[in-house]
Amino acid sequence: MPQDTDTCLIVWDMQRGIAPNAFNYSQVLQNVRSLIDAARSARVPVIFSQHTGLPYPFMSEYFKESMRRRGIDPVKAAFMREGSPEWAFVEGITPAPDELVIKKYTPSFFVGTYLEQILRNRGVSKIVLCGVATEAGIVGTAWHGAALGFIPIIVEDAVGGRSQETHEAALKVMRNIYTVIKTSEAVNMLVDTTR
């Protein structure tokens, strides 16, 4: 049972169809694993997002357009469908039985999920964000979380993007408005939250 803490580790979309596309995937994977290990040893709650594709008639117009921009026909694509190989977590990322996995359908973990309620139930005020992609779900969840009153903490060397340019641009913006720290600092912070 996790101890009382106001902090939660959010592991964003570390799935086979998303995470390996990051330009810095090896570094992200190693650092995300370190964060998960630290959170578990400190008994800080860990919540995993799992992007889940919808059948074409239920896709948002944004996702249809996003797929078209990437040269994918959204009518024929079955990208990230529940149960598909790309929907699974990458090797080395396995949620524990007492950790939450929450399916989501947008670049904000707060839209269409019960994340906000779960965090408030636990008394969480700080969300530590890691995973892929920096310029999409990480920044989207940080902005949305801040608007709801949570304190986003982004672990800069444990997030990654498809392009180094957009990854770095997103981090530059987030450094101006949120706490952005390295994995080593985040590990220490997670351990210190329950002392």
Predicted pLDDT of residue 179:
98
- pLDDT tens digits for 143-155? 999 999 999 999 9
- pLDDT tens digits for 41-55? 999 999 999 999 988
Residue matched to tokens 């002392």: 195
pTM: 0.93
- pLDDT tens digits for 80-129? 899 999 999 999 999 999 999 999 999 999 999 999 999 999 999 999 99
Predicted pLDDT of residue 3:
57
Q: 189 with 164: CB under 8 angstroms? A: no
Q: What token pair was written down for 48?
A: 């995993």
Domain at 7-192, CATH class: alpha beta
**The CA-based dihedral angle spanning residues 84, 170, 164, 111, taken in that order and rounded to the nearest 10 degrees:** 0
What's the one-letter identity of residue 100?
L
- pLDDT tens digits for 3-32? 578 999 999 999 999 999 999 999 999 999
Tell me which H or E stretch contains 131. strand 126-132
* Average pLDDT estimate for 126-136: 97
Domain ranges of the chain: 7-192
* Average pLDDT estimate for 38-42: 96
Q: Say how far residue 119 (Cα) sits from the centre of its chain.
A: 15
- In terms of pLDDT, which residue wins out, 194 or 175? 175
Predicted pLDDT of residue 195:
52
Predicted pLDDT of residue 5:
87
Q: 86 with 80: CB under 8 angstroms? A: yes
Predicted pLDDT of residue 174:
98
Which candidate, 30, 31, 40, 37, places its Cα nearest to that of 2? 40
* Average pLDDT estimate for 168-179: 97
Predicted pLDDT of residue 2:
45
Predicted pLDDT of residue 1:
44
